[in-house]
Amino acid sequence: MHPVGGSAPLRVDIAEKTFSSAEGVSLTALQGLSFEVRQGEFACLLGPSGCGKTTTLRILLGLDKEFSGSFQLPEGGSNRIAAVFQEPVLLPWRTVEQNVRLALPRSERNADLGQLFDSLGLAGMLPLFPAELSLGLARRVALARAFATRPAMLFLDEPFVSLDEKTAERLRHLLLSVWSARPTTALMVTHNLREALMLSDRIVVLSPRPAHVQGVFDIRLPRQYRNTQVMSDLLRSFHEKFPDVD
**Contact set with another protein (CB under 8 A):** 61-63, 80-83, 85, 87, 89, 91-94, 102-103, 105-106, 121, 124-125, 128-134, 136-137, 145, 149, 167, 170
Q: Considering the complex, state which of residue 132 and residue 244 has its C-beta at the smaller distance from another protein.
A: 132
For the CB of residue 134, give the shortest distance to another protein in the complex, in Å.
Answer: 4
For the CB of residue 135, give the shortest distance to another protein in the complex, in Å.
Answer: 9
Q: Considering the complex, state which of residue 102 and residue 181 has its C-beta at the smaller distance from another protein.
A: 102
Bridge partners, 238 (sequence order)? none
The count of residues in the chain is 246
Q: How far apart are CA 31 and CA 136, in angstroms?
A: 35
For the CB of residue 207, give the shortest distance to another protein in the complex, in Å.
Answer: 27
Q: How far apart are CA 165 and CA 17, in angstroms?
A: 33
- Parallel/antiparallel/unpaired status of strands 153-157 and 81-84: parallel
Q: How far apart are CA 116 and CA 121, in angstroms?
A: 9
185: nearest Cα among 79, 34, 100: 79
Bridge partners, 60 (sequence order)? none
For the CB of residue 122, give the shortest distance to another protein in the complex, in Å.
Answer: 10
Q: Considering the complex, state which of residue 40 and residue 127 has its C-beta at the smaller distance from another protein.
A: 127
Q: Considering the complex, state which of residue 89 and residue 231 has its C-beta at the smaller distance from another protein.
A: 89
